[in-house]
Amino acid sequence: MRFLLVEDNRDLAASVKARLSMDGHGVDVAHSLAEAGECLQAASYDLILLDIMLPDGDGRDFLARHRKAEGATPVIVMTARSAVSDRVDALDTGADDYITKPFDFAELEARCRAVLRRRGGVAQATRAFADLVFDQMAATLAVAGDLRDLRTREMRLMELFIAAPGRILSKEHLLDRLFSFSEPVSDNAIEVYVGRLRKKMLGSRARIETVRGLGYRLTETPE
């Protein structure tokens, strides 16, 4: 998934980005509301992590404008304010969840997963296609009952394919979802990760098909 982190504390932003990147997410960091607006114009995001007190304004005002513009990207507000009224205000403004600083990274990760599941209409952590069962929480892929571990990028790539079986996903789309602006990415990065995921899928009826000139799609070989 690709996240936008809006946080003016550079040390905290660097720590959150490093932790979420370890999970395979692409994370772009904005240190002000102006930078956040520029990021939203340049890319689409699966989740926004939004601080309230920014150097150029209140994050809640930014959130209200985002929702008014029909921005549906889920938002988790992060702030040192712990009063109930502050939490209610953020949620009423359009936040999907709220976490109080200082927070444990494990809790932040869990809240991110929960918000993404709710927005995707998925209550469970597992998804199935053909003879594959993908467990996002455990980072595993079961092929006809045979369990294989997935590394972070393989897991994120599997999330994209299994969420849209049969749909052609371009290399550009996959790059946009897997990597942030600041990450150096080689021209063949997607081919490398698709190749690794195909190896984990060996023996399955499901396969990742190359559609020449367009991208890739998850398909099923008839029994």
pLDDT digit string (tens) for 117-144? 777 644 456 788 999 999 877 889 999 8
pLDDT digit string (tens) for 196-217? 999 999 999 999 999 999 999 9
pLDDT digit string (tens) for 1-21? 789 999 999 999 999 999 898
Dihedral sign, CA of 70, 12, 175, 123? negative
pLDDT of residue 152: 83
Beta strands in the chain (DSSP E): 2-6, 26-30, 47-51, 53-54, 57-58, 75-79, 97-100, 126-129, 132-135, 140-143, 146-149, 206-211, 215-220
User: Within a 10 A sphere around the Cβ of 182, how many other Cβ atoms?
Assistant: 11
Say what the pTM is. 0.64
